[in-house]
């Protein structure tokens, strides 16, 4: 019986404290966590490159922006999905990323394993 009374007293005390806080401190800003926009977060995650791929491509093409890298990687993956000729893919990759043609095969081999994640 004492446990019930103790719990009831604690509950009443908590309610009184909460009601006192809500009446007195209305002009004090309270930083409360917000619920993230999960749909936007999922879209953002889906559009990002895998971290290891982004790092590898940044080493090969250091001047390219992340958006540019993603768009070009998607173009290469489209060619892979269409079973394009490896030499043509390499030339296209070099052209898209603005590097020498000798870097094309390296770009294709770097991007190709990640095409499922890129889309």
The pLDDT score that the predictor gives to residue 57 is 85
The pLDDT score that the predictor gives to residue 46 is 44
Flag whether the pTM goes above 0.85. Answer: no
Tell me the residue range of the domain where 86 lies.
47-118
Residue 73 lies in a domain: yes
Residue 31 lies in a domain: no
Alpha helices in 1-119 (DSSP H): 2-24, 38-47, 51-60, 66-81, 86-97, 104-111, 115-118
Per-residue confidence of the chain (119 residues) as pLDDT tens digits? 566 666 666 667 665 666 665 555 555 555 555 555 545 544 454 445 566 777 888 888 888 888 888 899 999 999 999 988 999 999 999 999 999 999 999 999 999 998 888 86
The pLDDT score that the predictor gives to residue 91 is 94
The number of folded domains in the chain is: 1
CA gap 98, 107 in Å, rounded:
11
């Amino acid at each position: 019986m004492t446990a019930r009374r103790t719990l009831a007293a604690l509950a009443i005390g908590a309610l009184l404290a909460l009601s006192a806080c809500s009446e007195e401190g209305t002009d004090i800003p309270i930083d409360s966590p917000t619920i993230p926009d999960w749909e936007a977060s999922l879209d953002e995650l889906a559009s990002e490159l895998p971290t290891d791929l982004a790092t590898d491509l940044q080493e090969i093409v250091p001047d390219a922006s992340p958006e540019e890298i993603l768009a070009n990687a998607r173009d290469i993956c489209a060619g892979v999905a269409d079973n394009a000729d490896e030499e043509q893919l390499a030339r296209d990759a070099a052209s898209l990323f603005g590097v020498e043609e000798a870097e094309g095969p390296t770009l294709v081999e770097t991007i190709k394993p990640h095409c499922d994640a890129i889309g």
